[in-house]
Structure 1
Amino acid sequence: MRTKFCIIMFIFAAGLSGCGIGTDEPKKSKLALVKTTNPSPALLESNTEEKLDLVESIKQDISSMKEIYDVAVLKGKKDTLVAYKVKHMYRFQMKKIEKRMSDMLEKKYKDEKFTVSSDYKIFLEAIKLNERMKDPNFTDKKANQKLQEIIRLKQEMA
C-alpha cells in the first residue's frame, strides 16, 4: 500500500514538473501560436511621435490584408521587422502574399528597411521581445541586439 502511494506521488510530481510550472515566459507569448494576440507595434528606440505613427500605419496596412489575421511590428534603429500569421485558407499562397506585402511596404515606406516573415518562430520571438520591452530594466540597446538576432535567424532560415 505504501509503495503504491509513493509511486502515485512520484508520477504526479513528474507530471507537474513537465507541465512547465514556474517558467518565466510571459503569458501572452505562450498562446501566441494558438490564438490571435494582436500585439501593439513596438519602437526599440526613443519614442518620437512621428515614428510611433509610422509603426501604427505599417501595422494597419498589413492588418488590412484579408489573408492576414495577426501582425507584430518591431521598429529598431535601422530595421523594421514585420512578423505575421496567415489564415489557414491562404497557406498555399504564402510566397505570393509575402511578395505582395514586401512590395507594398517598400513602395509606401521607401526610407525603411523591412524584414518580413510568416514563420511562427519569428512571430513568437517578436512577441517575446515586445513583452520584454515593457520591463524598465530592459534597455534599448538590448532590445536592438535582440531584434538583430531575430533578423539573423530569419535570414538563416531563408
Structure 2
Amino acid sequence: MRTKHFIMTPIILLGLTGCGMGEDSKDSELALIKTTNPSPALIEKNTKEDLDLVESIKHDIASMKELYDVAIVKGKKDTLVAYKVKHFYRFQMKKIEKKMNEMLEKKYPDENFTVSSDYKIFLEAVKLNEKMKDPNFSQEKANKELKKIIKLKQELT
C-alpha cells in the first residue's frame, strides 16, 4: 500500500506541473480576464494615414474614463470598436455606447463604425488581431472574419 503512494504521488505531481507549463499564452486566451490592450489592426492598406487614423480612434476611445480595454480592427469599409467597461460603470452601458457613437461620428464622419461592449465580440476582435500578425493569413480571410464578427454583433442586438 505504501509503495503505491510513493509511486503515484510523483506521477500525479508531474502531471499537474506539466499542465501549467504553457507560459507563452496568447492575448486572446486571457482577454476576458485581464487588460490586453491590443494594438489597432488594419486589414487593408497600411498607409501612414490609416495607421494614424486607427491610433487616433484608439486614443480617443481609451481616454474615456468608463473603459479599461479597447480593440480596434479597421477593414476596407467597416471599423470594429470593441471595448470593456469598468465594473463600476456597467449600469450605464447604453449611455456610454451612445456617447461613444456620437463622438466617433462627429470626429470621423467618413468611417462606418460598429461599436460593441460584448465580451464575445471583444474576444473575436483580439483573436482576429492575432491571426493578422501571421504572414500566411490573407487580407481576404481577414475581411471575411471581420464581416463575420460584425454580423455576429448585429445578431446579438
TM-score range, shorter chain: 0.7 to 0.9
Cα distance in 2 between the residues matched to 1:119 and 1:20? 29
1:52-76 deviation line (CA, Å, top 9, x unaligned): 1000000000000000100001000
2:117 is matched with 118
TM-score (normalised: structure 1)? 0.86
1:23-74 deviation line (CA, Å, top 9, x unaligned): xxx6211110111101000000120110110000000000000001000010
2:77 is matched with 78
Post-superposition, which runs of at least 4 consecutive aligned residues in structure 1 deviate over 3 A?
1-6, 19-22
Aligned residues: 154
> Within 5 A, what are the aligned runs for 1:76-115?
76-115=75-114
TM-fit CA distance, 1:145: 0.4
1:136 is matched with 135
2:49 is matched with 50
Cα RMSD after superposing both structures: 2.3
TM-fit CA distance, 1:3: 9.6
TM-fit CA distance, 1:21: 9.0
Cα distance in 2 between the residues matched to 1:20 and 1:140? 35
Cα distance in 1 between the residues matched to 2:144 and 2:109? 24
2:39 is matched with 40
- Paired residue type of 1:157: L
Q: 1:21 to 1:142 in 2, by over 3 A?
A: farther
The percentage of counterpart residues that share the same residue type is 71
Cα distance in 2 between the residues matched to 1:21 and 1:129? 25
- Paired residue type of 2:145: K
Gaps of 5+ in 2: none
Cα distance in 2 between the residues matched to 1:20 and 1:145? 34
Gaps of 5+ in 1: none
2:27 is matched with 28
Cα distance in 1 between the residues matched to 2:130 and 2:101? 25
TM-score (normalised: structure 2)? 0.86
- Paired residue type of 2:101: S
Cα distance in 2 between the residues matched to 1:30 and 1:20? 14
Cα distance in 2 between the residues matched to 1:146 and 1:127? 12
- Paired residue type of 1:94: M
